[in-house]
Amino acid sequence: MAFQMKNGKWKGQLYYTDRNGKVHRKTKNFDRKRDALQWQTEERKKLELADQEAETKQNSFKELRVGEWAELYMEYAFNTFTEENCKLAKEKQRAFKRFFETKVVAPEMLISNVRKKDILDVFNILKQHYSGKNVDRQIKNLKASWNWGIDYLEMPEVNPFCRLPKAATTEEESHYMPPLEDMLKVLKLAAKSDEPQHYLVLFTLLMTAARRVEMRRLTWADVKFMGEQIGLRTRKRKDRIESCDLIPLAAELAVRLKEYKLQVGGKRTHVFSGIQLEAGLHMRWLKRLCAEAEIKPFGVHGIRALAGTLAHTNGACLMDVKELLRHRSTHQTDRYLRKQYRKNEAVGILSSSHQKPRTMASIAKRRMMQAQPKNINSKTYTLGLHLAG
């Protein structure tokens, strides 16, 4: 109820408790009592209308069943994801299949009857049959599908898949970066193999520091022979919109791509066939080459790390390496390189500081020497001379 304050103004105040028990409190000052009363009436009508809409939404999903929610989301997934990313829709389909195989939540169950305890039981059963990372992946897909239901099916806003513990108990292993000598061994074996495309895939990865999915998306239209550029398509952005990043095309790589294009013909759109870079095969041919070379197996990301490290250790500035790796900032590139090969010198400096005190002049001299680019190793930039056979 509105009341007059000591300064002569009128304070309108409103207390309203909605259907969920939440108390809404609002106040506002006015010069006239009539304005304060009118404001109170209008605000109360707004809150009552919002409360009625919430009740309507609550009733709309009461008849929705879990199986119907799954079917609607899978229809959306297969219509949304492109042919290239159809595997993502199939992954979500497998998540629902395994979700129903637990028999904790039946397809006929109403969405309004699903409780967090039911989802926790599903989580515990999945852990008994699948690895921790696999279970976390399934829960992630199911959580995303529930969020979709909140947006488009007016399902309850409390997502029962949220705040579940992680199923993976082991720490994630960092990507292994092979030494240059091991990479050269594998390249030589690939050049002599029955499948020449394997060699070109590895050589292109090393010359472009591309990700596996970027190699799969590479088309002949992205290879600018005249402009000496090659475009790598990525969706590793916040908006998930595909962008094409142009980087310089190495002369030796351009020669080999031209030869390969003459062999396969110009009718094929993509440079490499999908089977050579298929994620489901886990690049088994690369593992076989590593075993034949008697070296520790490495993957595509290891080659990417090796390319960035070789460029930086042989004189390329941080900005050039950033453009090669297609990072958004030099800070990200610096952290990436430190993780791959740079050693933390802080402990060494602290351990030696008590033995030999260092002056500011000596520290400045040391930093200047570290900032100077190293001599370019001819072996790194003349790979073709070593790999021609």
pLDDT category, 357, cuts 50, 70, 90?
low
Mean pLDDT of 332-339: 82
Give the residue, 47 or 20, on which the prediction is more confident: 47
**Non-local CB neighbours of 225 within 8 Å, separated by 6+ positions:** 249, 254, 257, 258
Q: Do 190 and 234 sit in the same domain of this protein? A: yes
What does the mean pLDDT of the chain come to? 83
Asked if residue 122 lies in contact with residue 102, where contact means CB atoms within 8 angstroms, the answer is yes
161 within some domain? no
pLDDT the model gives residue 388: 42
Task: List, for residues 110-155, the tens digit of each pLDDT value.
Answer: 998 999 999 999 999 999 999 888 999 999 999 999 999 999 998 9
Report how far residue 121's alpha carbon sits from residue 83's, in angstroms, rounded to the nearest whole number: 34
**Of 123, 131, 140, the residue nearest 88 (C-alpha):** 140
**Of 327, 291, 321, 285, the residue nearest 306 (C-alpha):** 321
171 within some domain? no
Asked if residue 220 lies in contact with residue 261, where contact means CB atoms within 8 angstroms, the answer is yes
pTM of the predicted model over 0.75? no
The CATH number covering residue 228 comes to: 1.10.443.10
Q: What is the tally of structural domains in the chain? A: 3
158 within some domain? no
Q: Which of 53-67, 80-94, 281-295, 360-374 has the lowest mean pLDDT?
A: 360-374
157 within some domain? no
Q: Do 86 and 193 sit in the same domain of this protein? A: no
Range of the domain at 54: 3-60
pLDDT the model gives residue 228: 92
Last residue of a domain, one of 16, 39, 60: 60
Q: Do 235 and 307 sit in the same domain of this protein? A: yes
pLDDT the model gives residue 197: 85
Last residue of a domain, one of 132, 152, 172: 152
Task: List, for residues 250-283, the tens digit of each pLDDT value.
Answer: 999 999 999 999 888 767 888 887 656 665 455 7
pLDDT the model gives residue 61: 55
Mean pLDDT of 228-254: 83
